[in-house]
Amino acid sequence: MAHTDQTMRRVLRREIAGTIGLLTDEHDFRAMRRYRSFTFDDYTTYFRQVEAVLRARASQGTHTTVALFDPEDYAEFCSTTGLDPDAPASRTRFTAQLAATGPTVPYEGQPLADLLPALVDEAVRQATWEYASMLLARLGTCAGCGEDLGRAAYIRASHLLVRILDTAPPGDHHLVCSVSGPPETLVSVLHADENDGDPPRLDEAEALEFTSVLALGLATDVPGGLVMRTTAPGSPDRVYGWRLRGYGLEPLTAGEVFDAYCTDAESGDLISPESNVDYCEPPDLGDENPTPGHRH
C-alpha cells in the first residue's frame, strides 16, 4: 500500500506546474543579496543553478514557466501584504503572483541564456501595454458626445490593423508602430505569419499591445508612424509605411521609406540600403469612408 501511495504521489508531482522567478541581471542580483535568506554569492553560480533546476524538472516531465523577478516590485509586494521580505516563503508568494499576473515564458529545454531575451521582451511588452492602456483610460469622454475616447481610439486602431493585414501582399509580416511623447517614445512590434494562404497568425499579447499603442497615437495626435516589412520566398522583401495623422494613417512615399531605413537615427548619416529589399508605397487601405471610432 505504501509503495502504491508513493507511486501515485510521483505521478501527481509530474502534473504540478511550477514557476521560477528569475533575476535577469547582476544589478537585480545585488539588490537581493541584502536579504540574509538569499544565500547565493555570485550571479554566475545563481544562473547556473537555476538552469540546473529547470533541466531537472524538464527531465521529470514537469512543466515550468520562468517569471521576471524584480526586487523593487518584490519589496513593494512585501510592504503591501505585510510579509517579511527576508523569508523564502515571501519570495514564493511573490513568485506565485507573478505566475498569474506578471511576464512569464515557458521553459522548453532551451539554454537559459536563450530564454532570457524572450523573458525581457515579454516584460517590456506587458509594461508598454499597461502604460498605453493607462493613458488611453485617462483620456476620458468626449465633451461633445460623451463617447469614451480611449475605447473609440482602440476600435479605430483595430479596424486599421485589420485593413493593413487584409491589403498586405502574401508573406510573413513584421510591423513596428512608434508613438512619440513624454516621457519617452513607445514602440510596439507585431509579427503576423501566413501559412499556405490562411489568415495571418497573431500572438494575442503582441496584438493587444500593438493595437493599444496605435490607438494612443491616433487619440493624442502626437508624432508617430507605422512600418511593415513583408518577407516571402522567392521575392524581395517589401517595406512600406504610414505616418499617424489626423486620427488616421497617411501613406509614406517610397522615397520617405527609403530615407527612413537608410539614415542613421542617431548621427543622421546615410547608410547603405539592404540588398533584395523594395522600399515602396503602401496599398490603398480603402479607408475614405467613415470607419469605427470617434470622428469629432
* β-bridge pairing 64-68 and 18-22: parallel
Tell me the one-letter amino acid at 99. Answer: A
pLDDT at position 290: 47
Tell me the one-letter amino acid at 141. Answer: T
Grid coordinates given for 296: 469629432
Say what the pTM is.
0.79
Contact 14, 60 (CB under 8 A): yes
In degrees, rounded to 5, the angle at the alpha carbon of residue 238 between the alpha carbons of residues 270 and 255 is 40
DSSP β-bridge partners for residue 100: none
* β-bridge pairing 248-251 and 237-245: antiparallel
**How do the pLDDT tens digits run along the chain, 296 residues long?**
555 666 655 655 565 668 999 999 999 999 999 999 999 999 999 999 999 999 998 988 888 999 999 999 999 999 999 999 999 999 999 999 998 888 899 999 999 999 999 999 989 899 899 899 998 999 888 777 778 888 999 999 999 999 999 999 989 999 999 998 767 789 999 999 877 667 778 888 899 999 999 999 999 888 899 999 999 998 999 999 999 987 789 999 999 998 888 876 666 677 888 888 999 999 988 854 445 555 55
What residues contact residue 220 under an 8 Å CB cut-off, 6+ apart? 135, 139, 179, 181
